[in-house]
Structure 1
Amino acid sequence: MRIGISLMDRGGPDALRTFTDDVRQAADDGFSSVWLSHIFGIDALTALTVAGSAVPGIELGTAVVPTYPRHPAALAQQALTTALAIGDGRLTLGVGLSHQIVIEGLYGYDFSRPARHMTEYLSVLTPLLSGERVSFKGETIKAEFGLDVGVGARVPVVVAALGPRMLRIAAEQADGTVLWMTGPKTVREHIVPTITAAAAEAGRPAPRVVCVLPVGVTDDVETARVRAGEVFQIYGTLPSYRAMMDREGVEGPADLAVVGDEDSVAAQIEDLRATGVTDFVAGEFLGGKDRERTRAFLKSLQ
């Protein structure tokens, strides 16, 4: 199991410079990958292009770019350009549906057929990322498109997939899944068996399972969980994550944070390794000395 780090957009006019500095530090610390979400701050692929052009070697991934706001041909073109800028084999494109509250409430798009949308979206996106021309006419997506971007290696795609149907789509049409707010019991009993079986049935390679969770090394576990509950409160209200929390048997995001002293956090990460997770990605959320302690511990795992 590889160990990656989820970095935050720290905002402000220097956001790209500070993000690049953070990527450089992550590479120096030995992390296998850096992941950046695409929400309401800087554009994730643009930021990875800037940082990856300055920092060699480390894998860079989006976790995740929402599909609805961008036609798959437009996203493929941008991803291939990013891959061209940072070098073959370094970019992993994570995509996801986002949530009804965002897609309908903020963008004004119809969210009534999310699984159909993702299936058709990938039917255009993944061939274009492999350098193929696409002629596709679906119910939610249409494309007559070819791209001429000189990238040698195919850009792999992981899908934010939690439910059985989305996991099958990720197995059959992409390279795996990227998870958030999903605990070890759910990964072991639901995520890994479902996506692995679907990939085998489709004759595809074993899927990548990227698990992103908040991590904090501290002696004050109670305060850390309170902090996690405050920072990540919104995710307990979103239906897709709420379903995974209910399956896990936890009350909310605070219960999913990987917190404790070094031995405790190491045991929790090892538990995830045993479930079949291929990549564990740590999301640091504590400040001060606990933040320094967390990073020092994560460095020791490399």
Structure 2
Amino acid sequence: MVRIGVYLDERGGPDTLARLTDDLRRAADDGFASAWMSNIFGMDALTALALAGSHVPGIEVGTAVVPTYPRHPAALAQQALTAAAATGPGRLTLGIGLSHQVVIEGMYGHSYKRPLRHMDEYLSVLLPLLDGQPAAFSGETVSARIGLTVQNTERVPVVLAALGPKMLKLAAERAVGTVLWMTGPTTVREHIAPTITAAAEAAGRPAPRIVCVLPVAVTSDAERAHAHAASMFEVYGSLPSYRAMMDREGAEGPADLAIIGDEDAVGARLEDLAKAGVTEFVAAEFALGEDAVRTRAFLKSLVA
């Protein structure tokens, strides 16, 4: 079985950070290998994980993902190194991604042109700084001549939100792998895994991490859970990068990629993902009430 992690959902309210810390502690106590948090419009994921992780030892924490365009790579490296110092050696994985044109141009006001070049140049500044080396790079989208004094005993590994072939190749050559969302087993088997693995082999790099995040609900009422998923994750069906993965999978919408069913059905889907090439599965639990308890109990049984 692949490594199993959980997605940390920001639940809001004045005690959000305390509840996040409790959720991380519960994930660690339940035996999960990792816990991941997205960086969208709520709390800053790196800051939140630094705080929560400083109180909860052992478990890996990761961002899935921090958008690159709004932050200069030197600023992100400084923050990531600080978060790594707070959580302890070898615990933080920095997941970064391009986000989406509607967000970067429509909300932040940045240009979304040449995204592949942007990511390649971004890494040319970010990676040396994470290695404790100064960055000296001048590109079309990113430039920097800067060094940092943040001390860290181990490099912070970077995974890219990579779905297209060129971005997967970049992830293989320059990062330690990819982190996926709304990507099913057929797409992993036929596109993601062979593309990134071949690129890593060609570059003489280690086998890449393929971290797959998907909604999960263990339930006896699959129809109801499917309807809930359709409502909860509807927006992802309209974003071009995810829509392309759904088309590859033959999925009508995001709910079709959610892992829903009883313990046998969910277990079979997870086994399918492992056989497809996923190295780490991260469960975005979305069930309600008794089904939420049942979902967590089943996931715990996989790591017991």
The interval holding the TM-score normalised by the smaller chain is over 0.9
The aligned residue for residue 22 of structure 1 is 23
SS of the aligned residue for 2:107 comes to: helix
In structure 1, distance between residues paired with 2:302 and 2:287: 19
In structure 2, distance between residues paired with 1:127 and 1:192: 27
The aligned residue for residue 201 of structure 1 is 202
Gaps of 5+ in 2: none
1:38 equivalenced with 2:39 (yes/no): yes
Q: Give the aligned CA root-mean-square deviation in angstroms.
A: 0.6
Per-residue CA distance 1:82-138 (angstroms, 9 max, x = gap): 001110100000000000000000000000111110010011111111111110001
Gaps of 5+ in 1: none
The aligned residue for residue 162 of structure 2 is 161
The aligned residue for residue 286 of structure 1 is 287
TM-score (norm 2): 0.99
SS of the aligned residue for 1:143 comes to: strand
* CA apart distance, 1:47: 0.4
Sequence identity percentage: 70
The aligned residue for residue 228 of structure 2 is 227
| One-letter amino acid of the counterpart of residue 241, structure 1 | Y
TM-score (norm 1): 0.99
The aligned residue for residue 255 of structure 1 is 256
The aligned residue for residue 49 of structure 1 is 50
Work out whether residues 123 and 173 of structure 1, in 8 Å CA contact, stay in contact via their aligned partners in 2.
Answer: no
Give the 5 Å matches for 1:81-230.
81-230=82-231
Per-residue CA distance 1:49-95 (angstroms, 9 max, x = gap): 11001000000000000000000000000000000111010000000
| One-letter amino acid of the counterpart of residue 265, structure 1 | V
| One-letter amino acid of the counterpart of residue 54, structure 2 | S
Per-residue CA distance 1:152-192 (angstroms, 9 max, x = gap): 01000000000001101111110100000000000000000
The aligned residue for residue 296 of structure 1 is 297
1:62 equivalenced with 2:63 (yes/no): yes
In structure 2, distance between residues paired with 1:63 and 1:153: 20
In structure 1, distance between residues paired with 2:265 and 2:287: 16
Range with bigger deviation, 93-102 or 118-127: 118-127
The aligned residue for residue 78 of structure 1 is 79
* CA apart distance, 1:224: 0.6
In structure 2, distance between residues paired with 1:125 and 1:15: 30
